[in-house]
Structure 1
């Protein structure tokens, strides 16, 4: 068990600055090499020698271990074994009794192409502000790239089971890199990562055998996006939703190759869809200009049948899928233009109906990803570290 609670004020100041989308950084080199170091491809096993990760000086000053890794995981689509890349960091100094507790980070959307893997970028594509406070407060940290980012496999964007497996297996990989680490871990994610750690919580009892999850924090999670279809039919997609639509369709096609993009993208959105499939921070100004020029006819499903197919596919990518055995903290902005606030509220209600223990907090007058909830997330993590009863506002 983690010895002692986190210092709420120290971590809170950093957590409130987490960005869901941040600018690209220059490359720090290639992904880990393919020379296998383990013939055992069981989930979480390292598949290559860890490679030193050279990040910002602020990161180097905090870490005793800083490596990129390639590890085994599992496809949530067909259960096949996969290779996933990521990073592992350990604080400087002597680990506490029982070992370093581990924070498994689910990063926000960075893109759908292999080169959009945070582990190949010096600044981790904006995730340093998430990682540093955990390191500062005595956690070892691991962050998966997710399947298909950093490897030749397809990235099933927003397919929650795959992402949940990747989050859990990153903890196993971290423990192989850091034998002095604990089996205790927490999950923290924003946007795509918020969905990923929520899914990991649901999967933790079965797939996470041998590890001890204390709880997960999901900020602006991508919960149930089926509401997008109604907005597409009504011609009321927001600019943020228009910009995300090509990536969402790309993610669905990983599971459903029968998806016809032309059933949903027309006009400028179809002609320039590749502009929206680049890594985060690339073409941002052009993406904004193009999204503003899109008219409702550019994203209207070609038929009611096509709309129903998309609604069914999006439901497959939605959470919750089942009960979460460990407590959750869920935050959302009441001005979120990407994931409508009501979608998050409804997802939490479904989780509560399954018996989940959830603290739901709204960030007033705030949008997607960047949430200032003060010390609340840190205090919640403190409680999980201390073993106190988790707050639960499922009752109202």
Structure 2
């Protein structure tokens, strides 16, 4: 585990009007004995260190911390970014988009709310704000002295997303209790999990959007044993293994990766995607021996831990949209299709947008925005599978 996870990391951000702003990443702290309700804002929000355009596009742009729950339901504190539209809210309030980002490695210093562009998500999120949504973007539970970041853990990722929506309702006058769960890659998995677990009567989930979701990564262990991981999966492998070990102590990272990949997790390692990190070009030169399970038992244990993260696991509580590329080399397109078939067999209402020529880079497209807008207006987009809507319908994305 990175030793940075246990340190107080600070650096100076200098961007346009935001010069010499100190951005600090304290390790997550446990909720005290009073155990505030999940979604309670902890401490005072701080202004995001970002581009000037952020402040002209929002009435509030803050880094907030809120109480949430970890993998075993234990209380914890999670950070995130809160963006509020300008102007007066509509009579029924601003709906909320609770956004879950793609993987960044899980170190506290890599939290998107500490990045000037929210680690690449800022433009898409401002697009949602301009359409009248309060956006709250969770950083997830990070790595800490307690252990690694629980990557793809169903319980904590869904709780972090739901509790972020609660925090937005509690702290933004004019916010509605109607909300959407939206996420990409790791976050697409979290959005789907939140849909399955959104049973809070104080919130009304209108729908979830999963973009290139990592719904089933169980084949990674087998591919690692065969020495056939794609370069994109080689980059992700240490984060995936560390996340599995956070909830399953039988998964031993030292038995699953080493060499170049082990050095990626040391104190000097940058966040996933940063300059200097192991990227896809570097990964092509990583020998298979650096990610081969030490024994077949290690492969079996990793497979079991990843299977515990596989979705779907239970019926969805609201309509779902899944968008993915047919050439995705991070998440198997066939496994995504299989997950959708399983959800359809349960009776879930799922809209599928498959782009045959796209890879893992799937964003909030106009079709996705149309689907969200239809649900916000009270219409029910016609799903690819599942029960036909009984309320006013729209044809939905083609």
Structure with bigger helix share is 1
1:83 aligns with 2:77: yes
Q: What is the distance in 2 between the residues matched to 1:276 and 1:329?
A: 38
Report the 3-state secondary structure (helix = DSSP H, G, I; strand = E; otherwise coil) of the residue aligned with 1:221.
Answer: coil
Q: Is 1:51–1:68's contact at 8 Å kept on the other side of the alignment? A: yes
2:164 paired residue among 163, 170, 179: 170
Shift of 1:54: 3.7
Report the 3-state secondary structure (helix = DSSP H, G, I; strand = E; otherwise coil) of the residue aligned with 1:225.
Answer: coil
User: Equivalent residues in 2 for 1:179-194 (5 A)?
Assistant: 179-194=173-188
Q: Is 1:47–1:71's contact at 8 Å kept on the other side of the alignment? A: yes
Aligned to 1:332: 324
Q: What is the distance in 1 between the residues matched to 2:139 and 2:343?
A: 27
1:384 paired residue among 375, 380, 397: 375
Report the 3-state secondary structure (helix = DSSP H, G, I; strand = E; otherwise coil) of the residue aligned with 2:330.
Answer: coil
Q: Is 1:83–1:151's contact at 8 Å kept on the other side of the alignment? A: no
Cα separation, partners in 2 of 1:184 and 1:395, compared to 1, 3 Å: closer
Is there any run of 5+ residues in structure 1 with no aligned partner, and where? 1-24
Q: What is the distance in 2 between the residues matched to 1:324 and 1:60?
A: 36
Q: What is the distance in 2 between the residues matched to 1:64 and 1:272?
A: 39
Q: What is the distance in 1 between the residues matched to 2:307 and 2:269?
A: 22
Q: What CA deviation, in whole Å up to 9, does each residue of 1:230-258 have, x standing for no partner?
A: 21232221000111101111111111233
Aligned to 2:341: 349
Q: What is the distance in 1 between the residues matched to 2:328 and 2:22?
A: 33
Q: What CA deviation, in whole Å up to 9, does each residue of 1:109-142 have, x standing for no partner?
A: 1222111111122221111022111101001111
Q: How many residues align?
A: 369
Q: What is the distance in 2 between the residues matched to 1:138 and 1:144?
A: 19
Aligned to 2:142: 148
TM-score by length of structure 1 reads 0.85
Aligned to 1:6: none
1:57 aligns with 2:52: yes
1:125 aligns with 2:119: yes
Q: CA RMSD in A?
A: 2.8
Shift of 1:270: 4.0
1:302 aligns with 2:294: yes
TM-score by length of structure 2 reads 0.85
Cα separation, partners in 2 of 1:301 and 1:233, compared to 1, 3 Å: same
1:231 aligns with 2:223: yes
Q: What is the distance in 1 between the residues matched to 2:260 and 2:49?
A: 40
Shift of 1:226: 0.3
